[in-house]
């Protein structure tokens, strides 16, 4: 029961959004960095939320690129990314959505949180 509550809590902890001109050297987890600032966002970076992974994931937002992500900023300042983030070509193979500042893992059930993320 505790575990279940913990998982739900982890799922609903929101991400922060940082609109920056350049990617900082030190990246915090639970943060979406949008590089280029609000005027010309051209890529987003997040630290992979899976604890055993922690890869920095770069997502192209540039309109010139075919395979690009869109960012949606909600009224409360939270960010959604479309489509989902699916890491291929790296061992982690993490697959998740960022919806309204929350990570939603692609695994079911819908409140799934990877085992290694459950006790932080």
Residues at the interface with Zn ion (CB under 5 A) = 48, 50, 53, 87, 92, 94
Q: How far is the CB of 116 from Zn ion (least distance, A)?
A: 11
Return the number of the residue (19 or 104) whose C-beta is nearest Zn ion: 104
Find the shortest distance in angstroms from Cβ 88 to Zn ion. Answer: 11
Distance separating alpha carbons of residues 49 and 29, to the nearest angstrom = 7
Cβ distance to Zn ion smaller for residue 32 or 48: 48
CA-CA-CA-CA torsion for 14, 37, 57, 46, nearest 10 degrees?
-20
CB 71 within 8 A of CB 44: yes
Spatial separation of the C-alpha atoms in residues 18 and 74, rounded to whole Å: 14
Find the shortest distance in angstroms from Cβ 75 to Zn ion: 30
């Amino acid at each position: 029961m505790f575990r279940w509550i913990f998982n739900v809590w982890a799922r609903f902890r929101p991400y922060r959004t940082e609109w920056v001109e350049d990617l900082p050297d030190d990246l915090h987890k639970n943060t979406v960095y949008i590089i280029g600032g609000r005027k010309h966002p051209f890529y987003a970076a997040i630290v992979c939320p899976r604890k055993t992974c922690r890869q920095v994931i770069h997502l192209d937002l540039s309109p010139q690129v075919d395979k690009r992500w869109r960012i949606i900023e909600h009224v409360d300042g939270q960010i959604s990314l479309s489509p989902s983030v699916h890491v291929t070509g790296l061992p982690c193979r993490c697959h998740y959505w960022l919806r309204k500042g929350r990570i939603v893992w692609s695994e079911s059930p819908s409140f799934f949180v990877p085992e290694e993320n459950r006790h932080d």
